[in-house]
Amino acid sequence: MNDLTDHVAIITGASSGIGEATARALAAEGMRLVLTARRADALEALARDLPSAISVPGDITDPELPATLISSALEAFGRCDVVFNNAGVMEVGTVESADVERICRMVRVNVEAAYRMAYVALRQFRRQGSGYLINVSSILGTKVRPGAGAYAGTKFAIEALTEALRMELAGTAIQVCAVEPGLTRTHLQDHFPEHPAQALGLRQMLEPEDIARAVVFVLRQPAHVRIPRILVMPGEQAM
């Protein structure tokens, strides 16, 4: 997929942060986009700002949304080449402070909905014989820290699924990759009492555009190259 021109990507969680930055980066490569997120106004504004994009607002936990996104790509552009499985939320807390209902909602978004999107995408890629699934994990998909076990568990689940799917599809033209961002300037932790940047003493986090460049790098590799996972971290982040 060295030349991305006119290829079609679905991006979940596209209205802000890593999803928005990746949409802009892929549009700059000449790709056509199907964008989804819950915030219809922000999503539609982004679609209008890009040369070839449509918005399909929806809640990623809707079991019907993945199939709707695939059919929207096929109807609008006649193909689907990439699914950037990015939508996610983050809840943390100690045994005493964690909101269990919010954690269970996180599991539905980060695991159940991501799994649905992955399998629906790969079944479409199987039918057409090619495609690229990129699942967004986290550095916390590779290690844990106190208070963040529930979130890390959702990303460990993404890591396990991604690696098993890669193994299952080895030898085909269907590729699977996990992108593992370190601390990135998004809205993911806006509701935390203390932002992780302060807790970790970081002066400079990653920007969403840093992750978007990594996604473009992955997609532009020759067909015989596989990148099962790519970890992108701020230079100061020791964890």
Active site residues: 151
CB atoms within 10 A of CB 117: 26
Angle of helix 65-77 versus helix 114-128 axis, rounded to 10 = 40
123 backbone dihedrals φ, ψ, rounded to 5° = -65, -35
- In angstroms, the CA 184 to CA 197 distance is 9
- In angstroms, the CA 53 to CA 73 distance is 10
